[in-house]
Amino acid sequence: MAFHVRRATPHDSALVDDVLRAAVDPDAPRSREPRPEALRALLEDPRAELHLALSPREPGRDDEGTEEAVGVVVLRHGMSLLPAVAPVLHVEQLWVAPAWRRRGVGHQLLAAAAASATAAGAEEVWAVAAPGERDAQRFLARLGFAHPVVHRVAPLALLRARLAAATASAPALGARRRAALEQLLARRRRQLSGGARIPSQVSPSERPAAGT
């Protein structure tokens, strides 16, 4: 069955909601599901673009004559700082319905991304795929995406907890380091005051001869 790709508009919120819900892992927490207010903000954000792969619904259905979304790509325009300041396009999510995979849908969605990058003057496209998404990783690798950086993700609650723990332990850690440094300096002072020499300062003539 044929499909076509076009940019989503705020009027496509129902289609986008359907396809994003389908893209979420069924075992993922409910908080990962798209929220209406976040979806509206995404569609109205001038830095973001959503492109949908659409196909006519099958004949005989009550909604015959309408279209269903069989794939989506979520793009965000940004700037890279290193090695030089330049516009860059981020592919934040790429998803194709299982029944439509290996039928060119992903290629057409990324073709839309490439066209958007060209219009924005970006010379690089960055894409994100989770480590466990092997098919997506292989698909991106075949199209030339490499691994210049590693993205790490932390839940906000966990990050705040770890930062609080690190802040609380910082004074004690600093005190232990100062105590260790003071102990080291005290040992050096005792060595010098007692006439002991540091081995590296002993001249070759003062070293005992071999066999004595």
Over 57-78, what HEC string results?
CCCCCCCCCCEEEEEEEEEEEE
User: Tell me, what's the pLDDT at 132?
Assistant: 78
Question: Cα torsion at 119, 124, 125, 126 (round to 10°)?
Answer: -150
Partners of residue 99 on adjacent β-strands: none
User: Tell me, what's the pLDDT at 49?
Assistant: 94
User: Tell me, what's the pLDDT at 39?
Assistant: 81
The residue behind tokens 């673009």 is 49
In terms of Cα–Cα distance, which of 101, 98, 114, 92 is closest to 42?
92
Query: By the 8 A CB rule, do 95 and 19 touch?
Result: yes
**Mean per-residue pLDDT pooled into runs of 10, the chain (212 residues):** 90 82 59 66 89 84 73 92 86 90 94 96 89 86 85 85 82 76 85 63 52 50
User: Tell me, what's the pLDDT at 5?
Assistant: 96
- Stated pTM of the model: 0.67
User: Tell me, what's the pLDDT at 26?
Assistant: 52
87: left (phi over 0), alpha (psi -120 to 50) or beta: beta
User: Tell me, what's the pLDDT at 153?
Assistant: 78
Question: Cα torsion at 203, 208, 210, 212 (round to 10°)?
Answer: 170
